[in-house]
Amino acid sequence: MYIKYKSLSDQKVSIINVNLSNCKTITTDDSKLIINMPNDSKDKTVTLALSSNEDAIKSLERLFETLHAKSPIGNLLDLTNLDEELIIKKDTTTTITEEEDETW
């Protein structure tokens, strides 16, 4: 995934390619968004400094929403609002068997 990032120190905009499918965890710490890679990965951990802790949390939420929109159905699970009811839509397509078809 490509991430567009604006540096706090020099205000330069960069686009960073991050292998999110291989990451171990994505967390926030102080005002940073941290994408941790496994120890045996060739990819390095990515740390993005943001203006505030609130911005770091917002960026984590935005990242989750983006991943959710692009992922296959059922690939991401949100456990932050456990009081909300989980509704999973089932396929309601029915098939007619040969015996039922003969009665038509």
Model pLDDT for residues 57-69, shown as the tens digit of each residue: 999 999 998 888 8
Write down the residue that tokens 């740390």 correspond to: 47
Tokens of 42: 């060739």
Q: Which residue has the higher pLDDT, 91 or 13?
A: 13
Q: Which residue has the higher pLDDT, 53 or 76?
A: 53
- Report which residue type is found at 11: Q
The predicted model scores a pTM of 0.70
Question: Which sequence spans correspond to the domains of the chain?
Answer: 1-104
Residue whose C-alpha is closest to residue 61's, from 87, 28, 92: 28
The per-residue pLDDT for range 27-62, each reduced to its tens digit, is: 999 999 999 999 998 999 999 999 999 999 999 999
Q: Which residues contact 102 (CB under 8 A, 6 or more apart)?
A: none
Query: 1-104 architecture in CATH?
Result: Roll (2.30)
Write down the residue that tokens 């706090």 correspond to: 8
Query: Is residue 15 predicted with pLDDT exceeding 70?
Result: yes
Residues 32, 57: Cα–Cα separation, whole Å = 9
* Percentage of the chain modeled with pLDDT above 70: 81
Residues 25, 37: Cα–Cα separation, whole Å = 7
Q: Residue 12 to residues 4, 15, 50, 70, 86: CA-CA distances in angstroms?
A: 11, 10, 13, 28, 42
